Amino acid sequence: MALPAAALFFVFHTVPALQGLFYSFTDSRGYGSWDFVGLDNYVRLFQDGDVLDSYVFTLGFAVVSTFAANIISILLALALSANIRFRSFMRSVYFLPAILSVIVVSYIFNTIFSTGVPQIGKALGIDWLSTNILGSPDTAWIGVVIVTVWRYCSTITVIYIAGLQTVPEDVVEAAHLDGASAWRRFWSITVPLIAPFFTINILLSFKDFVQVFDQIVALTEGGPGNATQSISFLIYRAGFAGGEFGYQSANAVVYFVIIAVLSAFQIRFHRRRETAA
Amino acid sequence: MNDSRAQSISRWLLTALLAIGSLTIAIPLYFTVVTALKSPSELRGNLWAPPQDPAWSNFSDAIETTGFFQALGNSLLVTVLSIVLVVVTNSLVGYAIARNLHKRLYRGLFVYFLTALFIPFPIVMLPLVKEMAFLGLGNLTGLVIVYVVYNLSFNVLLYVGYMSTVPVSLEEAAMLDGAGPFATFRHVIFPLLTPVNATVAILTGLWVWNDFMLPLVLLSDQAQFTLPLVQNVFQGRFTTQYNLAFSSYILALTPMVLIYLVFQRWIIGGVMHGAIK
C-alpha cells in the first residue's frame, strides 16, 4: 500500500528535484540543446546583483514578517482566549483572512495602496500617506509585509490559541493567588508551557514567508525595478519566461540549501530554548 | 468586590480593543464590496464612500469577461477530487507506515516522505513542468496528481500520529475473522479515522482551492484555469476598471466565504488539530 505511493512520490517529486539538481550544472534554456558548464552557474550566482538583491529582500522580508506576525498573533491569541464578550464571534472574524486566497487579497490591497490610501492621505494632508507605498523602491517592501501579516496572522493566532488551551488553569490560578502579576504570569508560566507552539509557528511562518510568491505577483511583480523580487519570483520569471532554466535551477539549489540550513539552525535553537525552559 | 469589578472592566476593555482591531479586517473588505458596486464615473471620486446606486450589473459583466462559471467548475473539480483522493490514499499510506514502523523499510519511507517538507517548490518547479508536459499531464488531471502526491508529506505525519492512538487489537480481531488488510482498513480503521480525515480534508481543501502557483505553472489551456489563476490572467483586461476587477474578486472569494460561514467551527478546529500534530 505504501510502496505504490512511494513510487508516485518518487516520480512526481524526487525525479524533478534530482533533475533540477542535474540541470543546474548546465546552461539549458528549458528547450533545445544544452551543454555542461560545471560549477559556472554557481559562480555566476554569487556575482549576480539581481540574485543577491533577491536574497537580501526575501530573507529580510521573511524575518520582519515572521517577527511582526508572531508578536501580533500571540497578543491576539491571548485576547481571544480571555474571558471576553462575543468570543466565538470575535474568533470567527479574526480567522476570516485565513480562508481568503492570497493572490486575490494581494490584488485588493494593491488597489487600496495605489488609490484608496493616497486619497485619505491627501484629504488629511499627511505627506507620506499620499503616495502609493508600492511605487517607491524604499517602501514597497512595507506594503508586502502589511499584506502578508494581514493575511497570515489568522492561522498563526489560531495555533497559539490551541497552545494556550493546553496550559492547565490551576497552575495559572496558583500563581495568581500567590500574587504574581499578569505580566509575570505570562512570562514565567505561560510562555515556557507553550514553547513548542512558538517553535512550530516561527518555523512554519518563516518557511512560508521565505517562499513568498503570490503577494509579489499581485502587488509589485518584483518592482519597482527589482526592489521586491523574491527568490521564488525570480526563479519563476527568469527560469520560466526568461529561458534561464539551468542558471535558475542552480539558484533553486542554493535556495534549498539555505532553507534547509536555516530550518535546521532554527530547530536546534528552539530545542535548546525549550529544554532550558 | 473590587477584584470582580476590575475584572468586568478589563473584560469590556479587551472586548472593545478587539472590536477596534477587527476594523483592520473589516475595512479592506468594506473597500472591496463598495468598489465592486460602483459605476465607472464613481471610481474617480471618493473611493471610500458607498456607491450611489449599487451597480449589480458589474457582477454579470465580470462573470462574462472572466468566464467565472468555467473557472468555478475547474476549481471545484480539482478541489473535490483532490480532497477525496488525498483522504483515501494518504490515510492508506499513513496506516501502512504506522503499522510497520518496526520494519526498517517503512521507517525509511517515513523519513523519505518527511524530508520533502523542507524542499521548497521552486527547485522542483521547472523540471516538474517539463515532466508533466512530457507525460501529457499539463492539465487538471496532472494538477490533481501533484496535489495528492505533494500533500503526502504532511498528511503522513498526521495519520501516523493519529494511528498511534488506535489499538491494534481491533485489526487483529478483524484478521482473525478472515479479513485481508484492505478490507480491515476499509471497515475497521477508516471509520475510526474520521477526526483526522476531517482535518486533512479541510487543510487540503483550503490549500488547493486558494492555490495559485501550481495552476500557474502546470496549466496551459485557459479553459482549464482555476479561480485564483483567472484573476491573474484578466488583470490586463481590467486595468483601471476597478469596479469590474473587484466584482471578480468578490465572486472568487464568495464560495470559500460561504463554506466558512457554515462550517466555521470545523474549519478552525481542523487547522488547530493540524498544528498540534
**Which residues face A3 on adjacent strands?**
none
Residue at B246 is within a domain: no
Whether residue A271 has pLDDT greater than 80:
no
**Residue B86 distance to chain A (closest CA, Å):** 11
Residue at B169 is within a domain: yes
* 3-state SS record for chain A: CHHHHHHHHHHHHHHHHHHHHHHCCECCCCCCCCCECCCHHHHHHHHCHHHHHHHHHHHHHHHHHHHHHHHHHHHHHHHHHCCCCCHHHHHHHHHHHHHCCHHHHHHHHHHHHHHHHHHHHHHHCCCCCCCCHHHCCCCHHHHHHHHHHHHHHHHHHHHHHHHHCCCCHHHHHHHHHCCCCHHHHHHHHHHHHCHHHHHHHHHHHHHHHHCCCHHHHHHCCCCCCCCCCCHHHHHHHHHHHCCCHHHHHHHHHHHHHHHHHHHHHHHHHHHHHHHHC
> What's the length of chain B?
277
Pair (B115, B221) in one structural domain: yes
Residues in chain A within 8 Å Cβ distance of B26: 93
**Residue A188 distance to chain B (closest CA, Å):** 22
Q: Please name the member of B118, B210, B257 whose beta carbon is closest to the beta carbon of A263.
A: B118
- Tell me, what CATH number does B226's domain have? 1.10.3720.10
Q: Please name the member of B106, B116, B120 whose beta carbon is closest to the beta carbon of A13.
A: B116
Q: What is the ipTM of this complex?
A: 0.86
**Residue B168 distance to chain A (closest CA, Å):** 18
Query: If you measure CA to CA, which chain A residue comes closest to B130?
Result: A30
- Do A94 and B25 lie within an 8 Å CB cutoff? yes
Pair (B136, B7) in one structural domain: no
Residue at B128 is within a domain: yes
Pair (B82, B213) in one structural domain: yes
Pair (B102, B44) in one structural domain: no
Residues in chain B within 8 Å Cβ distance of A26: none
Distance CA B27, CA B30 (A): 5
Residue located via cell numbers 490514499: B89
Pair (B31, B137) in one structural domain: no
Distance CA A209, CA A145 (A): 10
The tally of domains found in chain B comes to 2
Q: Confidence band (pLDDT; 50, 70, 90) for B75?
A: very high
B254 in contact with A, Cβ within 8 Å: no
Across B220-241, average pLDDT: 84
Q: Which of B137, B268, B273, B277 to mutate to test the interface with A (most CBs of A within 10 A)?
A: B268
pTM reported for the whole predicted model: 0.88
Q: What range does the domain containing B177 cover?
A: 67-233
Mean pLDDT of chain B: 84
Residue at B127 is within a domain: yes
Pair (B124, B22) in one structural domain: no
Span A70-100, pLDDT tens digits: 999 999 998 888 877 788 888 889 999 999 9
Across B67-86, average pLDDT: 92
Helix (H) or strand (E) segment spanning residue B73: helix B68-98
Distance CA B50, CA B34 (A): 6
Residue at B12 is within a domain: yes
Residues in chain A within 8 Å Cβ distance of B264: 92, 95
| Segment among A96-100, A102-106, B163-167 with least mean pLDDT | B163-167
Q: Please name the member of B7, B21, B275 whose beta carbon is closest to the beta carbon of A200.
A: B275
Q: Please name the member of B124, B260, B273 whose beta carbon is closest to the beta carbon of A13.
A: B124
B127 in contact with A, Cβ within 8 Å: yes
Pair (B199, B128) in one structural domain: yes
Residue at B155 is within a domain: yes
Query: If you measure CA to CA, which chain A residue comes closest to B251?
Result: A104
Span A2-19, pLDDT tens digits: 778 788 888 888 888 888
Whether residue A1 has pLDDT greater than 70:
no
Pair (B52, B102) in one structural domain: no
Can you give the pLDDT at residue B269?
A: 79
Across A154-159, average pLDDT: 90
Residue at B241 is within a domain: no
Whether residue A273 has pLDDT greater than 80:
no
Can you give the pLDDT at residue B84?
A: 92
Pair (B220, B102) in one structural domain: yes
Whether residue B52 has pLDDT greater than 60:
yes
Distance CA B229, CA B251 (A): 13
Whether residue A277 has pLDDT greater than 60:
no
Residues in chain A within 8 Å Cβ distance of B149: 8-9, 12-13
Whether residue B71 has pLDDT greater than 80:
yes
Mean pLDDT of chain A: 86
Across A159-171, average pLDDT: 84
| Segment among A125-139, A174-188, A217-231, A251-265 with least mean pLDDT | A174-188
Pair (B33, B134) in one structural domain: no
Pair (B144, B217) in one structural domain: yes
Q: Are B270 and B203 in contact (CB under 8 A)?
A: yes
| Segment among A257-261, B139-143, B217-221, B267-271 with least mean pLDDT | B267-271
Span A198-222, pLDDT tens digits: 888 898 899 889 999 999 999 998 8
Residue at B170 is within a domain: yes
Distance CA B264, CA B242 (A): 30
Pair (B52, B73) in one structural domain: no
**Residue A93 distance to chain B (closest CA, Å):** 7
| Structural domains for chain A | 50-276 (1.10.3720.10)
